[in-house]
């Protein structure tokens, strides 16, 4: 199973478009369609990009509302979404999604972990900070933030466009994660690969 994790486009307020280099990378990776796409919110108004994303997925886009979406974006999106993935070990891996603007200070790992525990998520995907992160907490919850697909500004943003691809091996209960980030200074992609395994409702480094 392949999942695209992406969001915080902030079009047209903080970015005019998704950088063409990112669009090209997404096209390259979609020679095999993604099973699902998780969008972390703050789409604002980008209908063409959302149609493009839909064309990359076999199934629906799971999307949540961002704080800036209230000002003219996807106001009908929910605050939370989740997907339960059945593994051959008879375990279920629960992936949760929220924008993260209910967390203060923004991106606080302990609060995100507590939110995941309260909602029985094994993986919690969030956005809002525009700072890409992959963090395994002390309680074996995996926190994922894909950053901003446009490199949009925020108080702690990296300012480099990024997104994440998750590959799940249902037979081996392995979770492989690749962070794709385009660095404007070096004009090149930097890919970070991490691997985890899921056992007894907990995630561990592989």
- Bridge partner residues of 174 (DSSP): 169, 197
Place of tokens 């079009």: 11
- Residue 183 phi, psi dihedral angles, 5° rounding: -95, 115
CB within 8 A of 186, min separation 6: which ones?
none
CATH superfamily of 2-205: Metallo-dependent phosphatases (3.60.21.10)
The rounded mean pLDDT for the chain is 94
Q: CA-CA distance, 79 to 40, in Å (whole number)? A: 10
Q: CA-CA distance, 72 to 55, in Å (whole number)? A: 24
Q: CA-CA distance, 47 to 164, in Å (whole number)? A: 21
Q: Domain boundaries in the chain?
A: 2-205
Percent of the chain exceeding pLDDT 70 equals: 99
Mean pLDDT throughout 149-163? 90
SS3 of residue 149 by DSSP? coil
Q: Is pLDDT of 35 > 80? A: yes
- Bridge partner residues of 148 (DSSP): none
Indicate the pLDDT class of residue 73, thresholds 50, 70 and 90: low
Please check whether residue 151 is in contact with residue 134, taking contact to mean a CB–CB distance below 8 angstroms: no
Q: CA-CA distance, 155 to 9, in Å (whole number)? A: 15
pLDDT in tens, 184-196: 888 899 999 999 9
Q: Residue 76 has what pLDDT?
A: 84
Top-confidence residue, 12 or 143: 143
Q: CA-CA distance, 10 to 42, in Å (whole number)? A: 6
1-39 as b/e, with b when 16 or more CB fall inside 10 Å? bbbbbbbbbbbebbbeebbeebeebbeebbeeebbbbbb
Q: Residue 13 has what pLDDT?
A: 84
């Amino acid at each position: 199973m392949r999942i695209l994790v992406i969001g915080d486009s902030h079009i047209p307020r903080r970015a005019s478009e998704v950088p063409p280099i990112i669009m090209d990378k997404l096209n390259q990776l979609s020679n095999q369609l993604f099973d699902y796409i998780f969008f972390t919110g703050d789409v604002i108004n980008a209908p063409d990009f959302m149609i493009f994303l839909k064309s990359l997925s076999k199934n629906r886009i799971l999307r949540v509302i961002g704080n800036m979406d209230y000002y003219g974006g996807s106001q009908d999106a929910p605050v939370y979404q989740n997907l339960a993935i059945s593994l051959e070990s008879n375990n279920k891996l629960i992936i949760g999604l929220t924008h993260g603007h209910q967390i203060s200070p923004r991106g606080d790992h302990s609060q995100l972990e507590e939110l995941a525990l309260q909602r029985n998520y094994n993986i919690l995907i969030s956005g809002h900070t525009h700072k890409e992160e992959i963090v395994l907490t002390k309680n074996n919850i995996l926190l994922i933030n894909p950053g901003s697909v446009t490199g949009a500004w925020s108080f702690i943003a990296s300012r480099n466009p990024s997104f994440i691809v998750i590959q799940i091996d249902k037979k081996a209960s392995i979770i492989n994660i690749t962070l794709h980030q385009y660095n404007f200074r070096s004009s090149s992609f930097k890919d970070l690969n991490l691997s985890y395994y899921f056992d007894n409702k907990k995630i561990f480094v592989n």
